[in-house]
Amino acid sequence: MKRKKRVLVGMSGGIDSSVCAAILKKRGYDVIGITMQLLPKEMEKESKCCNSNAITDAKRVAQQLNIPHYTINIRDDFKHHVIDYFVNEYLLGHTPNPCVECNRYIKFDALDQKAKELDADYVATGHYCKITHSPKKDRFFLKKAKDIKKDQTYFMYMLTQYQLSRTLFPLSDYTKPEIRAIAESLQLINAKKKESQDICFVTMGNYKEFIEEQLTSPQKEGNIVTNSGEILGKHHGLYNYTVGQRKGLNISYEHPLYVLKINAQKNEIVVGKESDLQQHSFEVNEYHLINKSIFNEKKEYSIKVRYRMIPFKATIKLESETKMTIHSHSPLKFITTGQSCVIYDNENVIGGGIIV
């Protein structure tokens, strides 16, 4: 008798990952549920999503679906690659995206490692993304999900060909209401569970307070200056500011001031007019192209520099193996160092990187 294809499903205790496991079981896979312990224990109690209740929910859903379930502890890796990175980036005046780093270093790496241990063919998650395959070219492609409101490809641009070949996203052709309806039809214990949009480790909803709690010593005060170097006031920590910020500067001036740049080397906040925020190009580092062979520097692509935004059109020049330059036809505002820049060609995700 031919062995069923085995798949490890990352189960967070939420509806999406639970229905992901249910769909794959119905399709005939040998499904195993995996829940990751991510947060330090002192944070776990306060988190709205990654807490002990979530682990219990995942175990109970696995029992309902009659599939085995395991819990793995990767707290140390999560703290190093996600929490410490998050804090250090803000201290450098950057605005990081912890979900991208979690997918890059934690979720898919940990699942794949466990899949090898359990002789599984695939890993799967409840993300809203789509993977297609071209047998002729022997290439995999990452595409937007059916539910554009829930599409999560922005956080997945770093996936490699190997990872795409071993990953299943069964929610790709469903909308969120359809997934919730499936959960209710199966009478899953978490069918009415609400979603959390918060950063899992920022338990009180205020990232500035979270950063201050992680500091061993207070950040030094620095100057708030104009582009010409005129000192207008003092700041109380670079992490309190983001590019484009207007409120909270506590400076009286002849016209409204906006944060133009955060200079960690000089410990300065540079401010100016709103028009000074406009730029037509910016650099992206640590980039990854899912299918480099189909990338065309002469082609115009759609670009997102924030998850919830309308893409803008731009051309891209590869400067080196690690750096690219994005050239937009229209002026841009609020290009923020540390955020992810993701490149699309209609429904296809071409790749992306970190804005520098």
Q: Which residues participate in catalysis according to the annotation? A: 102, 200
Give the position of tokens 């992901």: 20
- The tokens describing 100, both together, are 């991208």
How many residues belong to the chain?
356
In degrees rounded to 5, what are phi and psi of residue 52?
-65, -30
Residue 288, H or E segment = strand 279-289
262 φ, ψ (degrees, to nearest 5) = -115, 110
3-class DSSP assignment, residue 164: helix
Distance CA 158, CA 95 (A): 18
- CB-count burial class (<10 Å; 0-12, 13-18, 19+) for 22: buried
Q: How far apart are CA 194 and CA 236, in angstroms?
A: 37
User: Phi first, then psi: what are they for 341, rounded to 5°?
Assistant: -110, 120
